[in-house]
Structure 1
Amino acid sequence: MAFLSDTLARVKPSPTIAVTNKARELKAQGVDVIGLGAGEPDFDTPQNVKDAAVAAIAAGKTKYTAVDGIPELKAAIVAKFARDNGLDYAPSQVSVGTGGKQILYNALVATLNPGDEVVIPAPYWVSYPDMVLLAGGTPVAVEAGIETNFKLTPEALEAAITPRTKWFIFNSPSNPTGAAYSAEELKGLTDVLLRHPHVWVMTDDMYEHLVFDDFVFATPAQVEPQLFDRTLTVNGVSKAYAMTGWRIGYAAGPKTLIAAMRKVQSQSTSNPCSISQWAAVEALDGTQDFIRPNQDLFKGRRDLVVDGLNACPGIDCPKPEGAFYVYPSIAGCIGKTSKGGTQIADDETFASALLEEEGVAVVFGAAFGLSPHFRVSYATSEDQLTEACARIKRFCEGLA
């Protein structure tokens, strides 16, 4: 349609949202579907956070706020970065947006010019490349495959950087793989970045508190303080606090960048929801006692799913360090034919046949930039996960 912009033609709708919507549609039609596509915790927002939101409504805190966050929330974010990451920011270095996605998009829109490149490890969260394209930049995907546990090597990062590189987008623990970088592994990447002072770092730490097996989380500016002045450290309350629908993300970085992001937000959404901001204050300042039990819950689910998928012929599922995803390879299934008659040519046909024949909704790996894989979100009940793994095993056993 000629009326639509050329820029829009460069991007595609979110495949993860598409899979989730398809599962919902089938369920509404009475089909027995287990949805493993949604990236959100299945438990409720903590009661103290909900109570803070109700109190804010009762107190009439329902008006416009400062464009990029109320002072109380910025103070809570400053305290969080100091407490959890050893990073010292001022409130003027903090931006609050309508979810982490807006924070990332604001930063890219505020900084990218045509021809600017953004290095993104693949597999990647589906929105990174498309946000870069919408902002006028060029995404440069760099493969980090199963042979390196889905972690980018310093050598691969070095090879991807050019004089046109403006940003390096980093996500640990990772969506879609759950892979998390230790401080030592991260130091290998930051050493490369020190040699390229024109490259800025955008680190998406949304799954910081979802790590397992005594893994210790680290973030780039913490590991290498010399990168502090060219790092945007992004986080939010969606995952750790089960607040996906509240839509609060935040970041801290250099004042000039934060001011530019504020300008973008002032002409798009203006402030995030005032009630959600007050709820986020309580989330960050209030008790954190539920985080460890939630980690243990997700760890049990991870182990269940990894064991279940590795019992499926043709599937190889590494055990990740964090988040609530696994990213199994289906290399052993390619070229076979399902009981329903579908030839498994790639991970997209695998996922489509799995949904049609067994009622299990997963996201195919090509959506994340690395095939042949698929992503499972294990942020659902153990009963559902056990049944899903049984169905996937039955599907794989039926391939010939």
Structure 2
Amino acid sequence: MSKDYSSYISDTAHQLQPSGIRKFFDLAAGMKGVISLGVGEPDFITPWNIREATLLSIEEGFTSYTANAGLLELREEISIYLQKRFAVNYDPKNQIIVTVGASQALDLAFRAIINPGDEVLIVEPAFVSYAPLVFMAGGRPIAISTSPENDFKVTAEQIENAITEKTKAILLCSPNNPTGSTLNKAELTEIAKIVEKYDLIMVSDEIYAELTYDETFTSFAAIEGMYDRTILINGFSKGFAMTGWRLGFIAAPAELVQVMLKIHQYTVMCAPHMLQLGAIEALRNTYDEVENMKRSYLRRRNYMVQRLNQIGLDCHTPGGAFYVFPSIRATGLSSEQFAEELLIQEKVAVVPGNVFGESGEGYIRCSYATSMEQLQEALKRIQRFIETKGIYGKQTSKKMPEDSLL
């Protein structure tokens, strides 16, 4: 008889739910011929110059620990990058930490600022790890729902209405995962007024900053008065096609960075030495590649949005990232039903919107970080699937030739 371990498991761990995204990845993994629009990572291989610099560093023996905060040389390059790209200035010696992905950076931020019972406002639909990270740090995640009527953008009024005496911070991701919605400078400035009025901290997840299409990206830390109130989270995964490298960074006021660094020292020590050297190369010599990837994503975004609307699934145009978030309400199916039936019937994997919060119900997330050929085939299958539900043509009365959308 196997041992019962339930009495050994912490209450916090017991209450955590498995990732809803992983459920559908696992289902798809056991099937042949599946086209996955579920994975939130670039389909591009990390540019060769980055890989080459990393391989060379291993050959040269750079396999030791680095400083806990990361190589000073890399922190200097991050500082230059943030100044040149986003007009924010951070001292590489005491205001930047190199982390094991942006996810660890978020974990450090929450553990550094949250006391038991503190509330953190999270704009939903939201990435699946946000609320659990707040919860594990002892805080209470408070959802603020957005809708397609406002392109899934949160307003300052919505934020102010959600604030209580226990509110400590706001977590904002722009461009957003899963909706792709992107806040412009004017919209961020209105939110900044609320942050200042209620003396809050902004945890700004800017991992998709390089993938902003229609407007110039604005870092929240660059908004007047917000530099001292912002914990900026970013990394190399999305813009530089380096997801498996697990390299991110935090930039924040020195007092906050020193607290986060203490936690970092006791948990992961430092990010891998050789990968940090690859990241230096990424920041110095890869912008042409980044721009090429961005142009490819933009073309795919335009195709996806037009095709989804054409076949009967309402879809707003996302301003950034590499996701579309179409409504599937016209099918009469729930998000999970739609995703499961689509996978079984047509072998297309998408992520049900409800895993990103209650306001995501009635939607699915589709990643367009895959080849155009795969996207074309996936949309043919989705069209075939929804035609079986009898909704084709509700959004448009005329079939458009597919070639006209490329």
TM-score normalised by length of structure 2:
0.92
Please give the per-residue CA displacement for 1:332-360, whole angstroms capped at 9, x wherever unaligned: 112xxxxxxxxx2x111111111111111
The yes-or-no answer on 1:399 pairing with 2:389 is yes
Distance 1:65 1:143 in 2: 42
Between 1:376-385 and 1:53-62, the stretch displaced more is: 53-62
Please give the per-residue CA displacement for 1:288-318, whole angstroms capped at 9, x wherever unaligned: 11222211100111111111211223x2111
Match of 2:349 among 361, 372, 394: 361
User: Which letter does structure 1 place at the counterpart of 2:149?
Assistant: E
Distance 2:18 2:84 in 1: 37
1:9 corresponds to: 14
The aligned runs of 1:292-303 (5 Å cut-off) are 292-303=291-302
Between 1:147-156 and 1:3-12, the stretch displaced more is: 3-12
The aligned runs of 1:30-69 (5 Å cut-off) are 31-69=32-70
2:250 corresponds to: 251
Please give the per-residue CA displacement for 1:54-109, whole angstroms capped at 9, x wherever unaligned: 12112211001112211111111111111111111111100111000000001111
Distance 1:128 1:111 in 2: 15
2:393 corresponds to: none
2:72 corresponds to: 71
Residues 36 and 361 of structure 1 are in contact (CA less than 8 Å); yes or no, is this contact kept in structure 2?
A: yes
Distance 2:335 2:21 in 1: 14
Please give the per-residue CA displacement for 1:187-215, whole angstroms capped at 9, x wherever unaligned: 11112212111x100101111111223x1
1:109 corresponds to: 111
Q: How far off its partner does 1:53 sit?
A: 0.4
Distance 2:291 2:284 in 1: 16
1:84 corresponds to: 85
Equivalent residue of 2:176, what SS? Answer: coil
The aligned runs of 1:330-349 (5 Å cut-off) are 330-334=328-332, 344=333, 346-349=334-337
Residues 308 and 386 of structure 1 are in contact (CA less than 8 Å); yes or no, is this contact kept in structure 2?
A: no
Equivalent residue of 2:366, what SS? Answer: strand
Distance 1:222 1:266 in 2: 29
2:269 corresponds to: 270
Equivalent residue of 2:55, what SS? Answer: helix
2:398 corresponds to: none
Residues 63 and 273 of structure 2 are in contact (CA less than 8 Å); yes or no, is this contact kept in structure 1?
A: yes
Residues 308 and 390 of structure 1 are in contact (CA less than 8 Å); yes or no, is this contact kept in structure 2?
A: no
User: Which letter does structure 1 place at the counterpart of 2:336?
Assistant: E
Equivalent residue of 2:115, what SS? Answer: coil
Distance 1:329 1:121 in 2: 18
User: Which letter does structure 2 place at the counterpart of 1:331?
Assistant: R
Equivalent residue of 1:311, what SS? Answer: helix
The yes-or-no answer on 1:229 pairing with 2:204 is no
Q: How far off its partner does 1:126 sit?
A: 0.8
Distance 1:132 1:268 in 2: 17
1:375 corresponds to: 365
Distance 2:384 2:69 in 1: 50
2:285 corresponds to: 286
Q: How far off its partner does 1:275 sit?
A: 1.1
The yes-or-no answer on 1:328 pairing with 2:318 is no
Distance 1:68 1:37 in 2: 33
1:177 corresponds to: 179
Equivalent residue of 2:269, what SS? Answer: coil
| RMSD of equivalent CA atoms | 1.2
Q: How far off its partner does 1:21 sit?
A: 3.1
Distance 2:43 2:78 in 1: 25
User: Which letter does structure 2 place at the counterpart of 1:223?
Assistant: I
Equivalent residue of 1:300, what SS? Answer: helix
Residues 17 and 38 of structure 1 are in contact (CA less than 8 Å); yes or no, is this contact kept in structure 2?
A: no
Distance 2:76 2:53 in 1: 17
User: Which letter does structure 2 place at the counterpart of 1:18?
Assistant: K
1:149 corresponds to: 151
Percent identity reads: 40
User: Which letter does structure 2 place at the counterpart of 1:24?
Assistant: A
Equivalent residue of 2:22, what SS? Answer: helix
Distance 2:103 2:148 in 1: 27
Residues 47 and 286 of structure 2 are in contact (CA less than 8 Å); yes or no, is this contact kept in structure 1?
A: no
Residues 10 and 133 of structure 1 are in contact (CA less than 8 Å); yes or no, is this contact kept in structure 2?
A: no
Distance 1:95 1:209 in 2: 20
Equivalent residue of 2:267, what SS? Answer: coil
1:388 corresponds to: 378
Q: How far off its partner does 1:9 sit?
A: 2.2
TM-score normalised by length of structure 1:
0.93
Q: How far off its partner does 1:18 sit?
A: 3.0
State the aligned residue count: 382
